[in-house]
């Protein structure tokens, strides 16, 4: 079994930060089509604050749980907008099954991701079909839930594909949650920004796990 230590999680978060800088304008453009045009900016503010914390902290005194909680709390505290508390909850809930582990298995990580996604779902109260990040995350969660006894490269590929398809599925939808709600039919034809950012961010995690 692969054992994933704090360094694994540090690298994942660093790469999520890089991805966010690269896609800051793209995610903001998606949000200017059907929202208020700040989604990429919001996430960039959050991941820059996380980078500042990582640069200024001696992480050798931190465990996986403490690190993920800090990441979640930073997103929760620094990101204005709906996505901050939702992504904050993802990382806080990922941390919640842990105690003082210095390493986790891929199967434990799958369970952590399941809990994180369920955290987003209970916080935002969105279900599949409402044109939110849940449309990307819930199909991914199902793949993990069905395969959590043994996480293979195939499982991780399917996890990524289902989330990508989930993000695509938001294009023809009318929104039932979030800012796009008030657009009614005018939201049809546009991809939900949070669905796109969440499938891309969780792909970073899955890619690190398949290596």
Q: Exposed, middle or buried: residue 150 (CB in 10 Å: 0-12, 13-18, 19+)?
A: exposed
Nearer to Mg ion, 35 or 140 (CB): 35
Positive or negative, the CA dihedral 167, 209, 62, 104 is positive
Q: Of 5 and 36, which CB lies nearer to ligand ADP in the complex structure? A: 36
Question: Which stretch in 15-23, 130-138, 140-148, 161-169 sits in contact with ligand ADP by CB under 6 A?
Answer: 130-138
- Cα 93 vs. chain centroid, distance in angstroms? 12
**Min separation Cβ 148 and ligand ADP, Å:** 23
- Report whether 121 contacts 113 (CB < 8 A): no
Number of residues interacting with Mg ion: please give it, by CB under 5 A: 6
Q: Does 128 bind ligand ADP (CB under 6 A)?
A: no
Closest contact distance (angstroms) between CB of 72 and ligand ADP is: 16
Stretch that binds ligand ADP, among 1-9, 62-70, 81-89, 91-99 (CB under 6 A): 81-89
- Residues at the site binding ligand ADP, with contacts judged by CB under 6 A: 31, 35-36, 38-39, 42, 81-83, 86, 124-126, 132-134, 177-179, 192-195
């Amino acid at each position: 079994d692969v054992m994933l230590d704090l360094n694994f999680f540090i690298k994942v978060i660093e790469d999520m930060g890089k991805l966010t800088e690269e896609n800051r304008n793209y995610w903001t453009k998606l949000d200017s089509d059907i929202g208020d045009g700040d989604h990429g900016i919001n996430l960039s503010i959050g991941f820059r604050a996380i980078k500042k914390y990582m640069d200024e902290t001696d992480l050798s005194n931190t465990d996986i749980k403490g690190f993920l909680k800090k990441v979640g709390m930073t997103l929760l505290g620094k990101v204005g907008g709906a996505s901050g508390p939702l992504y904050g909850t993802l990382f806080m809930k990922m941390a919640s099954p842990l105690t003082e582990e210095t390493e986790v298995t891929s199967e434990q990580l799958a369970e952590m991701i399941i809990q994180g996604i369920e955290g987003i779902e209970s916080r935002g109260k969105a279900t599949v079909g409402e044109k939110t990040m849940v449309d990307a995350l819930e199909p991914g969660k199902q793949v993990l839930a069905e395969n959590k006894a043994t996480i293979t490269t195939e499982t991780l590929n399917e996890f990524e594909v289902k989330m990508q398809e989930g993000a695509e599925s938001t294009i023809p939808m009318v929104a039932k949650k979030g800012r796009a709600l008030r657009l009614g039919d005018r939201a049809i034809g546009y991809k939900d920004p949070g669905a796109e950012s969440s499938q891309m961010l969780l792909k970073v995690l899955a890619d690190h796990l398949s290596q």
